[in-house]
Structure 1
């Protein structure tokens, strides 16, 4: 193994220092545990919300909708302000918003104010999600894909821990949990000195599409398509796996356990791919993951294999979001909004697709769920092959030896 080279170190900010110190990296991972837990807490808290505010299940479910609307707006606001305010101020404001929203949600005397609290939580959530993903995408050179997988793996830890915490303490204690999350958000503010104020100006690498080139918009559009499709599959499996498994003969407990295992696979997959991304290129990882999604969804049509196949789907979906983001930044470095587009697209897909899939399932047998999702996975695989050919990964890892070179140089 060769000695650590300059390319392996974090990118320097405008002051010549790394974009994130070790303390800031650790705090960022903690922040992703927090936002993962927050997103997963609303569902388990619904029984307590209904009892406290005297609302129906559908009205209680608006808490998650308000959260996602706020998150989408948070991404867009953060992006618009990136050129005017520095990273520390934007991230700090996002942590404060999340803490204020959590406190408001926990202590609101009525449902409209509680709903407003979830919207404010979402604003902070979106800023943190976008801001940290962008910093990790550009801050570690060739290791950005590995670091992004680690960062988003911690989101999964939070998503598993949040409901477990409510299960342990009881749904009626959700206010204390939200207040605790707000306190942790405020504590993270003390680590922002380890975040560079600004990122370096992007420098187009060999093989990258020029800012005004005709290929830029199609490349971004295909990345957006992949993000929408993979999130559609992710939420589709998460929402319909229990129903499908029960329809093919499994008990409710087995179906619930298999679905929990699917979400756990989403976390495991990111930690597994982190070291692999140091040896394999982003295009290769994406192609394998899309093909793997399709293959496992096809296996899910076989009742005896379905629970295990869904676990495999989770493993394949896991690396797509964190693997594509640094590749996108390298492929179109002059389009600062590209990251905002795909992160916003993933949020829109998460909100819009479940009811669309539900409408499709209403016209078909629920046993066709894997086939419907298989068709989406095939489309995702086709888009991944187009990107592999038309958006080479400049500066990415393209071989087993881990040497950095551009795909065009290898051609």
Structure 2
């Protein structure tokens, strides 16, 4: 079935065509009809399968068809998301799909000045895409009213629960009118997610796409057994062998992200980092450079994994095996999005093998192993620009800088 056969307005169909959408993905095909009928929906689908469009299209259609009078501070739909980046990206998708219609959209999130957001709310907004903190802050200040909410969308619900937002989700539900439509979208499902979902939805239509394999079939994923101290050499080799590829590298911590960037810098390879220590303007700048291809290597922590929805990420590298098994799905889901193919490579050291086994259990299958011969392993070490680099000094230097920051913070607290 093609999008042109849906009962969307001509303007929305025109926007769909401009964006290059022709046929709905599985999650879109199964979600759009019940949402248009006003039913609650509980949907679980792999990352990168088009969940945002699955709820944005019917929401825009319903709100534009109702043509309700827009009142100051009152909104008709709230989309709650866990991160600033997601709020910005999802509001961007809504704006593109709603262009030329009567539906007004505003992203509401912290890390930036609230005044422009307040100004737009005062002018009248139909849909807000918000993180919990800024949403409740503006609501408590009287800049936002939830009394007329007709539709609540909880996107990346599993990640919101992971970040401890269950109380915020419950608080929001209490503030909404008794009669409202709830759309609950998640990339993974477990007991915590199920319990939260069933406490929020009412007689929901349940949709689950590829429940036995949470990783998209568009992704070729593999693992290479590489010792911790040698990972930087293999990362260098992959970057050099794929100079035109857009690459996303996941590490465990903020400090480690900066270390890996410095290590690449020492062998004349450019990269940038994104993590919780950067303010929103810095994160936005980094994301724009990565999206445009100005920078092709982005090093990220798991906190940022859900907020990175950049088209054409060619390769995802799990430089560190994630400690939370479900984070593997969200990391590799940054590539192979929509109909495009993607590559995901994990570096697994001896001490990480237990975590790898847990991930394979979660996926219900083994990850293909990249067989690295002893000679190839040695050759990679020789190829590296590390011959001119004192790696031990580099690591010591990074540790010392981290310790200095820690001492400064302690002094400032005193």
Same fold (TM over 0.5): no
Bigger-Rg structure (1/2) = 2
The TM-score normalised by the length of structure 1 is 0.25
Q: Give the number of the structure with larger relative contact order, counting CA–CA contacts within 8 Å between residues 6 or more apart.
A: 1
Structure with more strand by fraction: 2
The TM-score normalised by the length of structure 2 is 0.25
Structure with more helix by fraction: 1
